[in-house]
Structure 1
């Protein structure tokens, strides 16, 4: 029996996408309708105002809603505002937090959502999952897929390079996540969707092939990274969970958030976790082959580059398996203090420090 998979009806990735909005089907959706625009207060608010100026003369009503953070309190407040005068469409503008919050509010209030990412710092730009904070703990919850995703490459090209690097860190985790998913399948812990796995793998392979091209420029890299992160989101929709893109490396990142203060971007922490995951998965050669890419992409190769101490990283690895009920490579080992110390020595040698700072946070 065929499975119904939800994906965005419209996907637009091009330069000048905001100004070209009247030429798209999306414009027909908002024409004559009530629209709520959700974003932060900083630079994303300016982008939101640009979007509003393009649609202002054609919508029945538009109002701005401020997303301060991705806490449950903020989500509840925004939901109350939405339900007081329910819009026909929610437009979420910003990075991971604003997009996730828009998806949650849209799902809870049964209002379709259009996303305008201003950065690709994670796969939140198009996924059936949102990360919110409850009691200071990052929690992933299921949400409806956005009805459309519109990426203006001119906007992305001006975002801080560190954010793009973080998004690529999230993308690279597909490899270790898929290994963990297969491991759980072989251990008869859960079923695996081969099609979702194929799409998640192709997403990261597509980006790596572009990265390896000698003549690739930053603009092309941003475009392909955006497409690959969207493919990852669709893979999760097919799977019905975040399994194709989230494994032991994400559990380590969640543990850093919950037990160690969450000092860095999600994708940066995931990238650090990927190195541990690949080592435990018996792919030490792949750890070594990844390091030049990390340096090129501005990704950290040592936890201290993100502000974490050895004790904190030790705690994150030890607590990672408890972060959610998900079988991964971490369940295959007895994570004693001695073994974790061995992992830290092997995966994060002294010479791995400061590579991140030496090259800065640049991409391309």
Structure 2
């Protein structure tokens, strides 16, 4: 049995990618086309202006609309514009929210999408999933994969380090997510796509191999991070779900969003969740400890550094199994209040605090 998998036709990750766009196949696609650029706000608008300038003279017409958030109202507003004045191509420029909104609008309007990420804070840069806000709560929906992804490393180098940390947190979670997927398969709860499993694992392994090198070059780190996050997105497309990159650690992050106010970035919360779920997984099998990588990369190691109280973290762990109908390591333990308290003491000791600064810069 074979399966049709949708992946981007073009992937460009290099310094000066926007400046050199006219040397690519992506530029050829834009000839005499009506292009809609969906831009994030703030500094992202400057990058959008660069992209707009790069396609002038190639596209027949280019217009820019601002994506202020990832709410359903914003998506509906942009979709109405698309239906009234249909573009041939949508170009999404920005962080996770702008990219997700672009993918949703493109999917609902049946318009191909090209993404220009300005940060790699999650695997949203290339995945068949988008996170949107409905009734003030975040929810994940399926979308079409982008036709192309263009990442300018000069743009990434100027983004806040915190966004890079969040992306790495999301990437490292492949380890615990794949453990959970294999566990669900052994328990007869889910099918296992071995090719998607291999790709998601290779994505995180390629990144960790770079970290194990004696000298860590920031430019090389950015490029490999971006490549690994894109491979993770393709693994999800192969699997037909987020399973290869989303397990119990993501359930904890979703619970923090839904029940505790979503005080931090998705990847930061996932990184915190990884520590707890990895601890539980280690009780059943030998697992590779990620703590040394957290220390090397400056990732958060305590929920209080993300602005959450002990009571909120306790609530998130208790509510996590009910966030999705997904079998994980959390289903293997009796998560009583006493058990959760013991876990919080073991996984997040006081000495793990104050290692991460919750700042934008």
TM-score range with shorter-chain normalisation?
A: over 0.9
**CA distance in 2: counterparts of 1:28 and 1:118, whole angstroms:** 22
Q: Match of 1:305? A: 305
CA apart distance, 1:81: 1.1
**CA distance in 1: counterparts of 2:139 and 2:289, whole angstroms:** 32
CA apart distance, 1:361: 8.5
Contact 1:72 1:134 in 2 (8 A): yes
Q: Match of 1:257? A: 257
**CA distance in 2: counterparts of 1:284 and 1:171, whole angstroms:** 23
Q: Match of 2:85? A: 85
Contact 1:71 1:134 in 2 (8 A): yes
Matched residue pairs, number? Answer: 361
CA apart distance, 1:333: 1.4
CA apart distance, 1:279: 0.8
Larger mean Cα displacement after TM superposition, 37-46 or 146-155: 37-46
Q: Match of 1:99? A: 99
Larger mean Cα displacement after TM superposition, 266-275 or 325-334: 325-334
Q: Deviations over 1:261-314 (max 9, x none)?
A: 000000000000000110111269988942232122121000000000000000
**CA distance in 2: counterparts of 1:56 and 1:322, whole angstroms:** 50
Q: Deviations over 1:140-195 (max 9, x none)?
A: 11100000000001100111111011000000000000011011111111101001
| TM-score, normalised via structure 1 length | 0.96
**CA distance in 2: counterparts of 1:34 and 1:90, whole angstroms:** 9
- Against the structure 1 CA distance between its residues 338 and 42, is the aligned structure 2 distance closer, same or farther, given a 3 Å change threshold? same
Q: Deviations over 1:109-158 (max 9, x none)?
A: 00000000000000000011111111122111110000000000110011
**CA distance in 1: counterparts of 2:141 and 2:56, whole angstroms:** 33
**CA distance in 2: counterparts of 1:327 and 1:64, whole angstroms:** 43
**CA distance in 1: counterparts of 2:285 and 2:225, whole angstroms:** 24
Q: Match of 1:326? A: 326
CA apart distance, 1:200: 0.3
**CA distance in 2: counterparts of 1:326 and 1:267, whole angstroms:** 20
**CA distance in 2: counterparts of 1:122 and 1:357, whole angstroms:** 19
**CA distance in 1: counterparts of 2:357 and 2:102, whole angstroms:** 34
Q: Match of 1:113? A: 113
Kindly indicate whether residue 186 of structure 2 is the aligned counterpart of residue 186 of structure 1.
yes
Q: SS of 1:119's equivalent?
A: coil
Q: Match of 2:12? A: 12
Structure 1: runs of 5 or more not aligned: none
Kindly indicate whether residue 24 of structure 2 is the aligned counterpart of residue 24 of structure 1.
yes
Question: What does 1:92-171 align with in structure 2 at a 5 Å threshold?
Answer: 92-171=92-171
- Against the structure 1 CA distance between its residues 93 and 361, is the aligned structure 2 distance closer, same or farther, given a 3 Å change threshold? closer
**CA distance in 1: counterparts of 2:71 and 2:322, whole angstroms:** 22
Kindly indicate whether residue 207 of structure 2 is the aligned counterpart of residue 204 of structure 1.
no
Contact 2:281 2:287 in 1 (8 A): no
CA RMSD of aligned residues (A): 1.7
Q: SS of 1:254's equivalent?
A: helix
Larger mean Cα displacement after TM superposition, 210-219 or 162-171: 210-219
Q: Match of 1:71? A: 71
**CA distance in 1: counterparts of 2:283 and 2:202, whole angstroms:** 19
